[in-house]
Amino acid sequence: MPSTTILPAGRGPADVPGNARLRQAIVEMPPQLIGEVARLGMGEKGIIPLWYGESDVPTPAFICNAAHRAMLAGETFYTYKLGLPALRQALAVYMTGLYAKPVPAERVTVTTSGMNAIMLGLMAALNPGDDMVLVDPVWPNCEQSALAMGASVTRVSLEQENGVWHLDPEKLFAACRENTRVIFLNTPGNPTGWMIESDQQQAILDFARERGIWVMADEVYARLVYDRPVAPSFCDVAEPEDPLIVVNSFSKSWAMTGWRIGWMVTPQWMTESLFSMIEYNTSCVPAFVQEGALAAVTEGEPFVAEMVARCRAGREAIVPALEAMPQIQIDPPRAAFYAFFKVEGMQDSLTFAQEMFRHTKVGVAPGRAFGEGGEGWLRLCFASDPATLAIAAERLGNFMASYKL
Ligand SMILES: Cc1ncc(COP(=O)(O)O)c(C=O)c1O
């Protein structure tokens, strides 16, 4: 099998007579490049898969038990579109406790994952032909969601200042044009671990208010932070009526990637439209899944602390080892759970990641998956057992020592 085989594209308009065609934006949807490495060894015994963004820890029992109890108690019917009132309220209390300004339950909508919250938000905000300004390198799904709406995407890249990731807000503002409807920021960022500070959030919000542009803030890594208890949130600085959509998820902090549940905070008036959009789409998040999430958000602080400690230990197992490799440059991440590193001389991150996997059985994501600016870089998820990560670091070190670029 050639190493860069891409899955077949959907049938294009030229192949299908009449109107039974896929929309062009869907035909053009590319396969996600992380999967192009993962499919070389997914499920294989003995591999160390650090390609996807999830921990190797299963969801803790107190969350599973809450969902199980709810199922057995008959919570198996359609339920509230915007989320169980108790969960919306608990999320409001949780966010109000974390951030500088109160978040009332009326502004909270429970969604079928963080990804679904992104889709709903962009579906509500973007017309075909509109533009979204996206700060990259970033998780590929953010761009693809906008393209699926028929919108275009303008990328503004983070810069490295003395080896540290940094956003120049002036470049972001200059990229906004007449048809810009959304500025999309993922902070703490996947893959870079970059974290925006409150003064920049304030400046971006002021600009968005003045220009009438939405800010979509993807804050799914808000709790996985190593230099403070919680990352700065747009909820710290925004007024309730600001054009702001904050996306969050149960996936990362509570080890619930497979549950598919997240939430969003919007201006209150927008929830009426979200009610209808959810009605015509998923209908609701299953009630028993929401009961699990309710246990997570009300009783899960000790688990979140464990998760942060585990990721911190994972970071310690990986980052110094990478720093010691002469070909590698890395900004030690202050948040999220990724080591994003540059490999000197590497031209094609996909081929390199595939080759590295064949030799080491350690799976990482190619930097190109996160935008063209990510070419030359690789991403490794360190949310796994530190002992396993130490083995991975050793294998990568041996590979790098012998590899001729
Ligand atoms: C930046 C970012 N946003 C959103 C998500 C979506 O999380 P989920 O759909 O599992 O809630 C992810 C998952 O990897 C992510 O990395």
Q: How many beta carbons lie within 10 A of that of residue 322, not counting itself?
A: 21
Q: 13: pLDDT confidence band, cut at 50, 70 and 90?
A: low
Q: pTM (2 decimals)?
A: 0.94
Q: Are strands 214-218 and 152-157 parallel, antiparallel or unpaired?
A: unpaired
Q: Is the shortest distance between the CB of 249 and ligand 1 below 6 Å?
A: yes
Which of 316, 347, 336, 345 is closest to 379 using CA atoms? 336
Q: Is the pLDDT of residue 299 over 60?
A: yes
CA of 260 to the centre of ligand 1 (A): 10
Please name the residue whose Cα sits nearest to atom 13 of ligand 1.
53
CA of 221 to the centre of ligand 1 (A): 9
pLDDT of residue 3: 37
Q: Is the shortest distance between the CB of 220 and ligand 1 below 6 Å?
A: yes
Q: Is the pLDDT of residue 294 over 50?
A: yes
CA of 114 to the centre of ligand 1 (A): 6
The mean pLDDT of the chain is: 93
Q: Are strands 244-249 and 338-343 parallel, antiparallel or unpaired?
A: unpaired
Q: Is the pLDDT of residue 219 over 50?
A: yes
Mutate which of 145, 249, 263, 340 to test ligand 1's pocket (most atoms within 8 Å of Cβ)?
A: 249
SS3 content of the chain, % helix, strand, coil (to 5): 45, 15, 40
Contact 6, 32 (CB under 8 A): no
Query: Measured at the alpha carbon of residue 261, what is the angle toward residues 209 and 332, in degrees to the nearest 5?
Result: 70
Instruction: Give me the mean pLDDT over the 143-163 stretch.
Output: 94
Q: 243: pLDDT confidence band, cut at 50, 70 and 90?
A: very high
CA of 124 to the centre of ligand 1 (A): 19
First to last CA, the chain: 22
Specify the higher pLDDT residue, 171 or 30.
171
Tokens 């990259």 belong to which residue?
136
pLDDT tens digit sequence for 199-216: 999 999 999 999 999 999
Quick one: what percent of the chain has pLDDT higher than 70? 95
Q: Is the shortest distance between the CB of 190 and ligand 1 below 6 Å?
A: yes
pLDDT tens digit sequence for 65-90: 999 999 999 999 999 999 999 999 99
User: How far are the Cα atoms of 24, 136, 159, 177, 271 from residue 150, in angstroms, in the given order?
Assistant: 9, 20, 28, 17, 23
Q: Distance between CA 217 and CA 184 in Å, rounded?
A: 6
CA of 270 to the centre of ligand 1 (A): 22
